[in-house]
Chain A
Amino acid sequence: MAMAAAAPTVPICHGRRASPCSSKQVSVSVSVAMRAWASKSSSLSSSSSKSPRLVAAHATAVATKEAASTTSSSQGGHELLMFEALREGLSEEMERDPKVCVIGEDVGDYGGSYKVTKGFSEKFGSWRVLDTPIAENSFTGMAIGSAMTGLRPVVEGMNMGFLLLAYNQIANNCGMLHYTSGGQFTIPIVIRGPGGVGRQLGAEHSQRLESYFQSVPGLQMVACSTPYNAKGLMKAAIRCENPVILYEHVLLYNLKEKIPDEEYVCCLEEAEMVRPGTEITILTYSRMRYHVTQAAKTLVDRGYDPEIIDIRSLKPFDMYTIGESVRKTHRVLIVEECMRTGGIGASLRSAIMESFWDELDGPIGCLSSQDVPTPYSGPLEELTVVQPHQIVTAVENLCGKK
């Protein structure tokens, strides 16, 4: 029954995908810049993110300690990188509940292609950290089948784009089984993996699956953006009874932040206030949060007062927090990395318009990636994704020049 432990082999570049180590090298080279951003933005975010938190009745937040516990000025806390935060969250949940297991490619002996499950194989054994063959459709199906009996698997897609091969299982079985069985079966599964546009990874490895899965009924989707919310959302997703897709981003794995020592869980359906403001509501998630906060520096210099909200919960939207903000500012700009057509921004725009039409002073702006396959060439790739200067221009257009 025990699987033979294989010594980690040198990764070979298959025709199908880039070797994981090359993307790690790439992300390391980016991380220097990211860390600079991160430390500035995390101090921005942590000071304001925990202001009056609206905790919905079902929230599973364990820590009741308030905001201050996450700032770098608090007593204790420890600094770590995003992938380590994910690892910590996952490890704590696996220790807490023996039914949690991890299924994915290279998660066991190799330690995970982004090191999220490093050391897990030795700690939890090969029966709880399962290395699968390259068969996304079937191992996602297997995870769903085992979740039907009460196990809580965490499926790792080496890259979110590969989960397109498991689309049938995720849409039909994962999302719908609770409904079509009349409530008999729950699927407490977590599907996670890195997605988004990286550094010249090519079109097939730069996919944003949020848009494809958002209309599947029965799924919950969250996107993490900081080590703090990565750990919190990971824990919440594992504890949630519904199937949750946790979107990570390839370029954010080396973000550094100080997080609390004590246990905490984030609310899955809640948005995060990054920077309170009065003039315009900027809604964003995942990597674009950092482009927005960088643009915010320019905007503040020019006299604007943007309110930045990291929506975090992509399905369902936290319409309460968003609504409160719209009532305050009356202008909305959505900044996302999803494609323009049929993306998260498109749905969010229509949801806000429907519910808060009377509060709006003007049309909702939406900055998304271009509707093109992500090109390999560096400058071209930069053109597909929203850049900070475009955000500044958009805010100026919505709010009027100052």
Chain B
Amino acid sequence: MQGIMESIQTLCSGDHGNEGFMQDDEDEEEENGVGRLTSWAELLGFGLAVFSEAIAPQLQCFCDRTLGFAVGQGGSREAWIKAVAMAMSLVRKAVKKGWVGALAPAARVMSQALSTASEPITLDIPVPFKAHKVETPSVTVETSAQELTNFFKTMFIMRRMEIAADSLYKSKFIRGFCHLYDGQEAVCVGMEAALNDKDCIITAYRDHCTHLGRGGSVLEVFAELMGRKDGCSLGKGGSMHMYNKKGGFYGGNGIVGAQTPLGAGLAFAQKYLKVEGVTLAMYGDGAANQGQLFEAMNISALWNLPVIYVCENNHYGMGTAEWRSAKSPEYYKRGDYIPGLKVDGMDCLAVKQAVKYAKEYALQNGPMVLEMDTYRYHGHSMSDPGSTYRTRDEISGVRQERDPIERIRKLLLSNNIATVAELKTMEKEAKKEVEDALSKAKESPSPDSDELFTHVYRKGYGAKAYGADRKEVVVKLP
């Protein structure tokens, strides 16, 4: 940011009076069908190119207006953004008056993008929070066009990825167990909006999208699902064992509920090492009845660990509905002495608000429980049709009324952040991204045979592991 503004400053030289279009403050907003540039680098780079072609006599005034504005507003990031937006609109005026004719559409688009992308939009969360031993957070959320657009794109990619995994499973590219997350995307996407790289996430086996949210790539996910070399765990983990150390994602655990003490341990390490972060230990409504969860809650409350227990309540523990497996299905209250919140898990903004609130709480006071009221469209896993214990009407009803992607779509349209056509373009791009990743993953080879014995121990230990028939023995005597 600093460097870019310095470059703009160097363009300003000489003495120029205020002339012509610079005096005119009026803007005109125009819709056009060009896709938005969302990368800062792209945007500002292009902007610089435009600036450098602006008429010299106008530059001084131009820079005074923009830089002066930014500095005058305190030099904050928002101020700079507004300043550059203003610069864009000034250029647009120049374009209107014929100064830089060929660049008109681009300038227009950029100014629009910049001026509105990060402007805060305030929205209300429709479904209220329910609280246990704590105050509810405010239902008013601040977001921005950029954030909502990102929500849409990310959730759409996740949805396409899970549906592609469905057909991969049916065509036997994926074997074993495959637990799909479609319907629940809002939980992991909303969470990521409130977290940073100091925070850790650990979850159960429904982890494909969580892995993506923490910085994994679709290629890694597909390759791992198919057991190929390019997978995030080198093909040795599979669907239930996806990890991303750099992104702070600790898996990916196959045994129901076993990740909750691990999560408490991650929070313990954060507190021990004095890292200002929280751990989100995620589990489902089925795992909520595991003893080790209560043990972990007890210890984390005793030691004030910065852990947030996130119960993704999709109302079915495999084939058993929650009312048949839990005496008290109010999972946010089951922490007892640990405060809890019940959140509409199909609403990204509600999830973001709750996690933000819980993070502040956990860093000060210790653990908290968040129950995300969400739903999965697929069955428990690909071996489960998903309709023997619930009706198809129920599934399609939730899809119609509460689908997280549709919700964001409506928000984007009603707040004029994007048009139907722009959304279609985004969807196409997302589908293409997923398809490209899929074909690349299909080309990825299987791991080599000696990968079988690597990573059992770290750095080996002198003796070597044997093959199954013990023919590759390596005990050499002189």
Contacts and interface: CB of A to CB of B under 8 A. Distances in A.
Contact of A179 (B254, B260, B303, B455): B455
A168 B454 CA distance: 23
Nearest to A327: B477
A183 B455 contact: yes
Given A181-B251, A323-B475, A146 B272 contact: yes
7 contacts: A56-B461, A138-B261, A144-B265, A173-B262, A182-B234, A182-B236, A316-B461
B268 A142 contact: yes
From B232, B241, B457, name the one whose CB has the most chain A CB atoms within 10 angstroms. Answer: B457
Interface string B437-478: 000000000000000001111111111000000100101010
A138 B272 contact: no
Interface stretch (B123-131, B289-297, B334-342): B289-297
From A135, A169, A181, name the one whose CB has the most chain B CB atoms within 10 angstroms. Answer: A181
A178 B458 contact: yes
A172 interface: yes
A141 to B, nearest CB: 3
A184 interface: yes
A56 B473 CA distance: 18
Given A145-B202, A146-B272, A179 B236 contact: yes
B264 interface: yes
Contact of A182 (B231, B264, B265, B461): B231
B121 to A, nearest CB: 37
A319 to B, nearest CB: 5
Contacts of B270: 149
Nearest to A219: B457
B382 interface: no
Contacts of B298: 133, 135
A178 B299 contact: no
Contact of A1 (B269, B273, B304, B473): B304
From A139, A143, A147, A268, name the one whose CB has the most chain B CB atoms within 10 angstroms. Answer: A139
B233 interface: yes
Contact of B295 (A135, A172, A177, A317): A135
Interface string B222-236: 000000000111111
B274 to A, nearest CB: 11
Given A1-B271, A181-B243, A324-B477, 13 more contacts: A132-B299, A135-B295, A135-B299, A141-B261, A142-B268, A149-B269, A169-B262, A178-B458, A182-B232, A182-B235, A183-B455, A320-B475, A323-B475
B349 interface: no
A145 B234 contact: no
Contact of A169 (B250, B251, B258, B463): B258
A130 B399 CA distance: 48
B258 A141 contact: yes
Majority secondary structure of chain B interface residues (helix, strand, loop or mixed)? loop
Contacts, number: 178
B49 interface: no
Given A58-B462, A172-B254, A354 B470 contact: yes
B455 A149 contact: no
A184 B233 contact: yes
B277 to A, nearest CB: 10
Nearest to B241: A180
Interface string A123-142: 00001001011010111111
B263 interface: yes
B462 A57 contact: yes
Contacts of B258: 141, 168-169, 172-173
A397 interface: no
A168 B233 contact: no
A144 B269 contact: no
A229 B461 CA distance: 19
B377 to A, nearest CB: 27
A217 interface: yes
Chain A interface size, under 10 / 10 to 19 / 20 to 34 / 35 or more: 35 or more
A147 B455 CA distance: 16
From A130, A148, A317, name the one whose CB has the most chain B CB atoms within 10 angstroms. Answer: A148
B461 A58 contact: yes
Contacts of B296: 135, 138, 141-142
Interface of A: 1, 3, 56-58, 101, 127, 130, 132-133, 135, 137-151, 168-169, 172-173, 177-186, 217-218, 220, 241-242, 268-269, 316-320, 323-324, 327, 354-355
B214 to A, nearest CB: 12
Contacts of B250: 145, 148, 185
Contacts of A144: 261-262, 265
B400 to A, nearest CB: 38
Contacts of B459: 58, 241
B302 A133 contact: yes
Given A133-B302, A319-B475, A323-B475, A183 B234 contact: yes
B255 A148 contact: no
Contact of B463 (A168, A319, A324): A319
B245 interface: yes
B304 A146 contact: no
A5 B263 CA distance: 26
A150 B477 CA distance: 37
In order of increasing CB-CB distance, the 10 nearest A-B pairs are A145-B265, A141-B261, A138-B295, A145-B262, A142-B265, A182-B234, A135-B295, A56-B462, A182-B233, A138-B261
B237 interface: yes
A185 B261 CA distance: 17
Contacts of A177: 251
A355 B245 contact: no
Given A101-B272, A320-B475, A140 B458 contact: no
A56 B260 CA distance: 38
A145 B243 CA distance: 13
A355 B456 contact: no
B457 A143 contact: no
B280 interface: no
Contacts of A141: 258, 260-262, 264-265, 292, 296
Contacts of B463: 269, 316-320
